[in-house]
A and B are shown apart, each in its own frame.
Chain A
Amino acid sequence: MSLLDLSISELGRRLRAREFSSVELAEEALGRAEALDGSLGAFLRTTPELALEQARAADQRLAEEADPPALCGIPIGHKDVLCTAGVETTAGSRILEGFRPPYDATVVARLARDGAVVVGKMNCDEFAMGSSNENSAFQPTVNPWDAGRVPGGSSGGSAAAVAARLAVATLGTDTGGSVRLPASFCGVVGVKPSYGRVSRYGVIAFASSLDQVGPMAKTVEDAQLVLSSIAGPDGRDSTSSPAPLGDLAQALQEGVRGLRLGIPREYLEAGLEGGVRAVFESACRGLEAEGAELVEVSLPSTEFALAAYYVIAPAEVSSNLSRMDGVRFGPGEPAAPSLLEAYELARNRGFGPEVRRRVALGTFVLSSGYYDAYYLRAQKVRTLVANDFSRVFEKVDALISPTAPTPAFRLGERTQDPLAMYATDALTLPANLAGISGLSVPAGFTSGLPVGLQVLGPYLGEAVCLKVGAAVERAADIWHRIPAGFDG
């Protein structure tokens, strides 16, 4: 039994009751990371000095404030694409080795404001490009439930750390499923907020029009507490929504009775594994038992979403990553015979193969003469995908589906086949194209591997997602299960 097995609200109660201090809690998290992360690889670096400093401050607030924030003193981890002032932030890439941002991302600052304690920076696929965490330039993270399998990506380190109880909650980023997929593979909750719900300021961009930061936690309630801290308007991000967040805690108190939940026919077609289907169907029965009405719906543009995504996302990547040119970031080459060669050297040395592939892809689709055929057409598909969702949300309150067609796959299984790897995100990326809200919640196990259920809600519909997620969580009753080897 570890303190990190407890939910945030339980930890908060005990912290306030002085059963233990935030410093002790941080030390336990850091100690577990020290002892257990060697084989897991969830952390790119722990931040003990920062953690203990923040924990001491949290202890003071817990002692002095009448009503300290729910997250005060809670150990968390940040995906390494989130800028943390003074702490090395690499986005899992060689090209950013040694980069210590002079500023905090808005989400990092908001969690610090609420007293959360940062224990480290979490491993991820390079610049968040990948579905298995195998594209990290530094180390793969493995799945805590089976060390021979991937944790999912790109927020694999964030998911694995929560599952293995090395942090109480973490932040990930979701561009095509990068929070929901590893949440599903590692058996944790992962939220993809609506586009604009959470500030992107200080988030090292993958694809700017798709990226969203989201919490990863053991329970839906924990995820809601983190989301409530980080979400809301931010003047530094012009794409952040001015809409007020509302009381998300209230949503968790409400059941799903009377909700109409749609099951997209197309999401159950593409290579769904039998074990995943069984878990999903069992979760459906649980929701019906709680009083939800399930109906089949259709999202006819689904089959084009993957292709559109792999045009739009790389296009933005090719531009977003241009600043990594060896002048300020990356291994500069002063002896290069020309400026062009200096750029080529820095970028070839600094970027891994998947990043180079997407930069090349994106450069191609934006180039003169091809723009209309690829980028413009992909944007039209994007509109169709978004229209599909708008249409079904006139009839249903939320959509449910498996998060991924399969549970965690084996390390190396898809690394040689980029298209197979890309298909991993088929059920998650349409939500990013449409900018709607979603989450993945553990719904069961198949052959000892966790299976997540995806809930998709309308734009700014986080409340309904959390409501449905909590019902699935109650019915499955598995959130307290801990992977073998991490339950000590």
Chain B
Amino acid sequence: MAELEAVIGLEVHAQLLTSSKMFCGCRAEYLGLPPNSNTCPTCLGLPGALPVINGRAVEMTIRTALALGCRIPEFSKFDRKNYFYPDLPKGYQISQYDLPLSLGGHLEFEVDGDRRSCGITRVHLEEDAGTLHHAGEIHTSKFSLVDLNRAGVPLMEIVGEPDLRSPNEAPHYLRALRQLLLHLGVNDGNMEQGSLRCDANISLRPRGRRELGVKVEVKNMNSFRSLEAALEFEVRRQTAVIESGGLVHQETRGWSEVEQATVSQRSKEEAQDYRYFPEPDLPPLRVSRELVERLRAGLPEPPLRLRDRLTYQHQLGLEQAALISERPQDAFYFEAMVAAGAPPRPAANWQLGPLQALCKDAKLDIEHSPVPAGELAELVRMVEAGEVSGTSGREVLVEAFATGRSPVNLIKERGLTQVSDVAQMEAWVDATIRQLPKAAADFQAGNDRALGPLVGAVRKASGGVANPDLASRLLRERLGRGGG
């Protein structure tokens, strides 16, 4: 039997970071609020209430589509997708069917340094449903409680072409898409809380064959890891079915984290007929060319291009560049430091090391860091110039972060500026050698471990301001260990 090949396409739902919901004035932020408190007649689906389109959500969708290289037709419309479920208060979801906001783009991503591209079928706009709450598992709970705080939150759907060929590609595709959404500022990328969700379609076929096999839709994967695990499971399951001479059934399956397996949810025969038809409560949407060009002009640099630029323009390593370009606010902070005169690689190290740790502990985003990029840049420059020791620099950063004071002022106030004046240093070095003759002799005799205490003593003699690198060089020279 010919070797089997997987054909995978992802459908990603991303909640948009608008301030209000898709079709009403309620806040789009819904987490942590008392049940059904963030609602109005429209998102409750009360009889008589009508939707009004959120223009910001339309713009965010168009920006995303443009960043994915999609075409934006001038004419678009909303449709009703009809089905019954308790979290869907109107009995239909306002979505887009045959005339979406955008069509035909692609997403570039990398798998272990290897550049790939995946087609994007379309990006369209719809509304989120409410949430249901149960006592324990849904099947044993005596009740279902409906919370409509989330109902009507703008939801962008990004439909990918079935261009992926292995489960391993899927999380890389999704990471790249997530990163793009973060850079566009349209989604917060939180898969655990469900503001970014991913479904997958997967089928198998003999390698080399053009026709597609029977596809299975897999849902419920709320991490990159579970996405890959679910697809790997499906490849194994479908391979076993085919190799034992069976037929794969078209169905929807859900990924169970507990069982580490996909479980059948709905067969093709049970599939819903959504009875799509044009939403009569909303006029068709005309997207002007001026709007499209204005939005195109405001697009940020694509994340992969930004990463590459960081490597050649600022000589960052690929990994460092990838970390800095992961989120737009990191890249922004970094470039602000460089612009303020910080040497790029050390700046990246300070940002990704001590500053990120401080931000994490304080649960602060870097854009709200109490130490602005310009001030950290000056601190990094001083450390690199040897004007202050790395140790002092880190201590000052901690204090500046906690108090909001300027690191440079703290250094001056504490007199932490390192002395690198050779004449002054030589005086301290000579005094130290006189003070610690045994250590000096040991080092002179080749015992490297004696150097540490000697440098420490020079620093002590200087009141902590002696440049330790210069101190150790002078000690070597004085004790006949120079040049080696």
A residues with a Cβ closer than 8 A to B are 81-83, 89, 91, 96, 99, 101-103, 105, 200-205, 207-209, 235-239, 315-316, 318-319, 321-325, 327-329, 339, 343, 363, 366-368, 371, 375
Contacts and interface: CB of A to CB of B under 8 A. Distances in A.
Contacts of A339: 84, 86
Contacts of A238: 50-53, 281-283
A323 B45 contact: yes
Contacts of B113: none
Contacts of B277: 315-316, 319, 366, 371, 375
B91 A319 contact: yes
Contact of B90 (A99, A204, A207, A323): A323
Main secondary structure of the interface of A (DSSP, over half): loop
Nearest to B46: A101
B84 A366 contact: no
A327 B86 contact: yes
9 contacts: A82-B48, A102-B46, A105-B48, A201-B50, A239-B282, A323-B47, A323-B89, A339-B84, A371-B275
Contacts of B89: 323, 327-328
A247 B45 CA distance: 36
The listed residue with most A CB atoms (<10 A of its CB), out of B82, B91, B146, B280, is: B280
Contacts of B146: 327
B91 A323 contact: yes
Given A323-B47, A368-B273, 5 more contacts: A202-B48, A236-B52, A238-B282, A316-B277, A339-B86
Contacts of B47: 83, 89, 91, 96, 99, 101, 204-205, 323-324, 329
B49 interface: yes
Contacts of A96: 47
Nearest to B83: A322
A208 B91 contact: no
Contact of B48 (A201, A207, A366, A368): A201
B80 interface: yes
B41 interface: yes
A282 B367 CA distance: 80
Contacts of A209: 280
Contact of B84 (A81, A202, A325): A325
B92 interface: yes
A459 to B, nearest CB: 14
Contacts of B50: 200-201, 236-238
- Chain B residues touching A, majority SS: loop
B281 to A, nearest CB: 5
Given A366-B275, A366-B277, A202 B49 contact: yes
Contacts of B90: 322-323
- Residue with the greatest number of chain A CB neighbours at <10 A, chosen from B45, B51, B282: B45
A449 B448 CA distance: 120
B398 to A, nearest CB: 53
Nearest to B23: A238
Interface string B257-290: 0000000000000000101110011110000000
A208 B90 CA distance: 14
Nearest to B91: A322
Contacts of A323: 45, 47, 89-91
B48 A319 contact: no
Contacts of A202: 41, 48-49
A208 B275 contact: no
Interface string B346-382: 0000000000000000000000000000000000000
A113 to B, nearest CB: 18
Contacts of A102: 41, 46
Contacts of A327: 86, 89, 146
A243 to B, nearest CB: 14
Given A205-B47, A319-B82, A339-B86, A239 B283 contact: yes
Contacts of A363: 275
A356 to B, nearest CB: 15
B93 to A, nearest CB: 11
Given A103-B41, A238-B53, A323-B45, A366 B82 contact: yes
A35 to B, nearest CB: 32
A399 to B, nearest CB: 25
Nearest to A81: B48
Contacts of B275: 318-319, 363, 366-368, 371
Quick one: which of B47, B48, B282 has the most chain A CB within 10 A? B47
Nearest to A367: B273
Given A102-B41, A238-B50, A208 B273 contact: no
A208 B280 contact: yes
A205 B91 CA distance: 14
Contact of A101 (B48, B281, B282): B48
Nearest to A211: B280
A99 B49 CA distance: 14
A92 to B, nearest CB: 12
A96 B275 CA distance: 25
Contact of B49 (A201, A316, A322, A343): A201
Interface in B36-90: 41, 44-53, 80, 82, 84, 86, 89-90
Of all A-B residue pairs in the complex, the 5 with the closest CB atoms, nearest first, are A322-B91, A208-B280, A366-B275, A209-B280, A204-B47
A327 B88 CA distance: 10
Contacts of A83: 46-48
Nearest to A202: B48
A205 B90 CA distance: 12
B149 to A, nearest CB: 15
A343 B91 CA distance: 11
A369 B275 CA distance: 10
Nearest to B51: A238
Nearest to B52: A238
A319 B92 contact: yes
B35 to A, nearest CB: 14
Contact of B281 (A103, A204, A239, A325): A239
Contacts of B51: 238
A282 B422 CA distance: 120
Interface in B88-136: 89-92
A205 B277 CA distance: 16
A362 to B, nearest CB: 9
Contacts of A318: 82, 275
A368 to B, nearest CB: 5
B389 to A, nearest CB: 64
- Which of B49, B273, B283 has the largest count of A CB atoms less than 10 A from its CB? B49
A89 B49 CA distance: 14
Contacts of A203: 48
Contacts of B91: 319, 321-323, 325
B88 to A, nearest CB: 9
B84 A316 contact: no
Contacts of B92: 319, 322
Contacts of B283: 238-239
Contacts of A237: 50
A201 B47 CA distance: 10
A16 to B, nearest CB: 34
A343 B85 CA distance: 10
A101 B443 CA distance: 90
Contacts of B282: 238-239
Interface string B466-477: 000000000000
B60 to A, nearest CB: 19
Contacts of A205: 47-48, 281
A202 B46 CA distance: 9
Interface in B411-448: none
B171 to A, nearest CB: 34
B280 A322 contact: no
A367 B272 CA distance: 10
Nearest to B142: A334
A204 B49 CA distance: 8
A198 to B, nearest CB: 13
A95 B51 CA distance: 23
B89 to A, nearest CB: 6
A82 B84 CA distance: 25
